[in-house]
Amino acid sequence: MPYLLFISSKEHSNFSFSDFLEGIPSTRHSRRSFNDFYCTAFELENQLENDDLKKIKQTSSKYNLDVLYIQHFLSSEKPTFFAFDMDSTLINQEVIDEIAKFNEVYDEVARVTEMAMQGEMDFDTALRERCKFLKDIRIESLDLLYQKLSLQWGVREFLAEISLFPHKKVILSGGFTQILKRFAREYGFDSFRANVLEVIDGKLTGNLLGEIVNQKLKQEAFLSLYKEFGVEKSQTVALGDGSNDFNMLSEAEFGIGFHPKEGLKKKLVNCLEHSPMYAILFLFEKEGWND
């Protein structure tokens, strides 16, 4: 049976979510809270029509509520594979834009970044064009930049919680290994894929080394890694915010846009737009839920 999950802040903790389900056969399955957010889940007797789901989401959005439509919950008894985009998903920044500040070309690079994230420009072309602006920046500047990176809403709590269990977590990013290697080590990720900036004589050349981590490579890495870790397909979750993440999200059992750009949002069934990342914990089955 499918389920609808209504995720709300404390402000709407007593909201009558059943009002959104008028005419749709359902029963309240459970209710759970984590920190200051709540999830009320309803079990549906039938699959939802697209128009019904669209209507429910439009109404919920007026109250800053997120709605997830899922076919089953994650098992708490099995390991789960989590794949994340990095920039604007795990962290608030777009790293390449921040690097560009060292050459005082932030606006030029940020403009191309936004076009790429909205799907208005081919990712590979956009990345190579932006990297040209980074020429002659000293590699030490990336150490300074790393210190300024900040985690997205709810990421710290989410990573701390899933690290208590034998779950696997990886980063599949169009960013750069010079940043990702350090981040993955600090937060205990099991693996990562990212692009490599060429460095000669301690300076960025404006070029990339090797294959670009684009939408296709993210998809391939997702498929190979969850199998390599021996995780069941039904226990896979992917989170991202840009068009470059679509294929990866499509391969996951639970592919969710996290505060997604419009270009990605319109392609997805499930997005979190008003909730922190730890709302993903509500995907786990009823054990531990508070009715």
Rg (CA), the chain: 20
Say how far apart CA 45 and CA 135 lie, in whole Å.
58
Say how far apart CA 159 and CA 179 lie, in whole Å.
18
Active site residue 85: yes
Q: Per-residue DSSP letters for 253-266?
A: SEEEEES--HHHHT
Q: Exposed, middle or buried: residue 171 (CB in 10 Å: 0-12, 13-18, 19+)?
A: buried
Structure tokens at 224: 């190979």
Structure tokens at 229: 């870790």
User: Could you say which of 85, 97, 124, 245 is catalytic?
Assistant: 85
User: Could you say which of 87, 97, 124, 245 is catalytic?
Assistant: 87
Task: Name residues whose C-beta falls within 8 Å of residue 165's C-beta, 6 or more positions apart in sequence.
Answer: 79, 80
Say how far apart CA 52 and CA 210 lie, in whole Å.
46
Map tokens 């709810």 to a residue.
154
Say how far apart CA 67 and CA 95 lie, in whole Å.
30
Active site residue 107: no
209 residue type, one letter: L
**Three-state DSSP class for residue 61:** helix
| Catalytic positions, written as ranges | 85, 87
